[in-house]
């Protein structure tokens, strides 16, 4: 009986060892293949889920990094813009001082001021940043860069003043055409000016510059008004007239110069 049991155990042991170590049994290979086939879809699904999770984790991290970079870049851009604005202001002030120095060689007692208020629908007047406290008085002449005539002070407040431009219908300026020496009068029309009282025996040319003559005792001599654009002549009129292209751009300038022409 013991021998039979021992023999049975020994046979089973040999079979088990054969299955484990040899691992070449068709049954074992078949079972392994079936198990692999069963698990394959789950492995593919798990792999896809893992890839999706990795993708979204990376995307979220990139978005976070991008937001942080954008915030940092926006801060740098604002800082750079502030520096450029300050640099531009310094350049404008430097140019203004150079222009004031250049003008002071021909004209004494020059003040500079900023334009602080204007109506773009009406270029006949505007406000400047200096007034009576800075020595500004009524009837002082206001010019722009290159000695272009802009207007004159009509209301000097304490720290500001109102300027009436040459476009205003009340403006009258004694002028002369530079090359032909044609005298006349610049008259404001509201949005433009007219070169009036041109003698019939004078023949000013198109594009000829017009400057203040200084003969009226109000406007200094040699200030640039503009240039002749079109001659208007009529036999029944005592004088000729001309349309004028004004030198100053009343929509663009931000700084002006004031001449103390009273001295």
Q: Which of 105, 120, 138 is the last residue of a domain?
A: 105
List the domain range (segments joined by +) for residue 63.
Answer: 1-105
Residues 145 and 212 in one domain: yes
Residues 146 and 252 in one domain: yes
Residues 58 and 157 in one domain: no
Residues 76 and 124 in one domain: no
Residues 154 and 89 in one domain: no
* pTM of the model as a whole: 0.63
Residues 83 and 166 in one domain: no
Residues 256 and 150 in one domain: yes
Total residues found in the chain within this entry: 263
**CATH code at 138?**
2.40.10.340
Residues 220 and 153 in one domain: yes
Q: Give the per-residue pLDDT at 91.
A: 64
Q: Which of 89, 105, 121 is the last residue of a domain?
A: 105
CA 223 to chain CA centroid, nearest Å? 31
Residues 49 and 165 in one domain: no
Residues 158 and 54 in one domain: no
- Report mean pLDDT in 10-residue bins for the chain, 263 residues: 59 60 57 65 76 81 79 73 64 60 66 87 89 94 91 95 95 94 95 94 92 91 93 87 92 87 58
How far apart are the C-alpha atoms of 205 and 228, rounded to whole Å?
7
Q: Give the per-residue pLDDT at 49.
A: 83
Q: Which of 71, 105, 139 is the last residue of a domain?
A: 105
CA 61 to chain CA centroid, nearest Å? 36
In total, how many domains does the chain have? Answer: 2
Residues 60 and 137 in one domain: no
How far apart are the C-alpha atoms of 87 and 110, rounded to whole Å?
25
Residues 20 and 114 in one domain: no
């Amino acid at each position: 009986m013991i021998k039979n049991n021992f023999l049975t155990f020994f046979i089973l042991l040999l079979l088990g060892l054969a299955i484990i170590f040899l691992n070449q049994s068709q049954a074992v290979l078949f079972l392994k293949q079936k198990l692999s086939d069963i698990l394959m879809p789950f492995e593919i699904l798990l792999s896809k889920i893992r890839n999706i999770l990795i993708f979204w984790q990376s995307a979220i991290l990139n978005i976070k990094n991008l937001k942080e970079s954008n915030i940092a870049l926006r801060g740098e851009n604002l800082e750079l813009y502030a520096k450029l604005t300050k640099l531009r202001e310094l350049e404008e002030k430097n140019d203004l001082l150079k222009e004031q120095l250049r003008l002071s060689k021909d004209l004494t007692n020059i003040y500079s001021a900023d334009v602080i208020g204007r109506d773009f629908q009406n270029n006949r007047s505007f406000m400047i940043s200096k007034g009576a406290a800075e020595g500004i008085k009524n009837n002082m002449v206001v010019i722009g860069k290159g000695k272009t005539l802009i207007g004159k002070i009509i209301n000097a407040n304490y720290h500001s003043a109102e300027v009436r431009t040459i476009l205003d219908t009340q403006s009258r300026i004694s002028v002369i055409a530079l090359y032909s020496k044609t005298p006349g009068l610049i008259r404001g029309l509201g949005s433009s000016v007219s070169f009036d009282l041109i003698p019939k025996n004078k023949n000013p040319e198109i594009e000829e510059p017009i400057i203040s003559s200084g003969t009226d005792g109000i406007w200094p001599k040699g200030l640039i008004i503009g240039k002749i654009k079109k001659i208007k002549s009529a036999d029944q009129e005592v004088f000729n007239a001309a349309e004028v292209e004004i030198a100053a751009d009343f929509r663009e300038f931000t700084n002006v110069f004031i001449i103390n022409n009273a001295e």
